[in-house]
Amino acid sequence: MKFPPFIKQLALTASLAQIGVTSALVVPVLLPTTAVAQNQASQAASISNRLEQLVGGLFNGQRDAVRQYAETLVRDRGQNRQAAIQQFENALKPTLSPIQFEQYMAYREYVMTGKGARPAATKGPRTQAEAAGAIATRIEKGLGGLFNGQRDAVRQYAETLVRDREQNQEAAIQQFENALKPVLSPIQFEKYQANRDFYLTGRGQKGK
């Protein structure tokens, strides 16, 4: 049976439209992945932790601000590193005391990357503030980030843990975890428990 030309044209148009719809459905949408977001959070946490260790501790308002600036730095430096660093330092300067900012500038490369000249304090035994900062940073990295209220609480509980565990480690850890549980989501606390030795000591399996 022969079909009129306009019928053939309609059939061809419908076929092409179907192919176009199918192609549109299978083209992947390029969105930032969870892994990329977690990696950026991890880098920002490391910058914040190195800075806090360097200056001998930050109060909560400073810690939140520094973390926010570090997250912006990590997000933007892939496009324009120099501009991102300049923006970071312009925001950082009024947040820190003059002495703290001088310390940062003296060890700028170390704070940014973990490389370069290291401050003398990082070469010897860790202070309690450094040990607490390391615990808080491992937890934040492992859980894929914390919001400000969680971050401050975890840091506070870690400081108490480090202070008390030399006298009674088991009781100090129990107190830490009792305080930690209601601050984290159920999924976050499960992740913590699944790898608690690493979060508390830096030993054991790193991440899961």
152: closest CA among 69, 77, 61, 83? 61
Phi-psi region of 72 (alpha: psi -120 to 50; beta: other; left: phi over 0): alpha
pLDDT of 58 > 50? The answer is yes
Instruction: Give 80-111 pLDDT, tens digit per residue.
Output: 999 999 999 999 999 999 999 999 999 999 99
pLDDT for residue 25: 44
Q: Which tops the pLDDT comparison, 47 or 16?
A: 47
Q: Which residue has the tokens 């979060």?
A: 199
> Quick one: CA torsion of 169, 143, 145, 159, rounded to 10 degrees?
0
CA 89 to chain centre: 19
Instruction: Give 146-204 pLDDT, tens digit per residue.
Output: 887 898 899 999 999 999 999 999 999 999 999 999 999 999 999 999 999 999 998 87
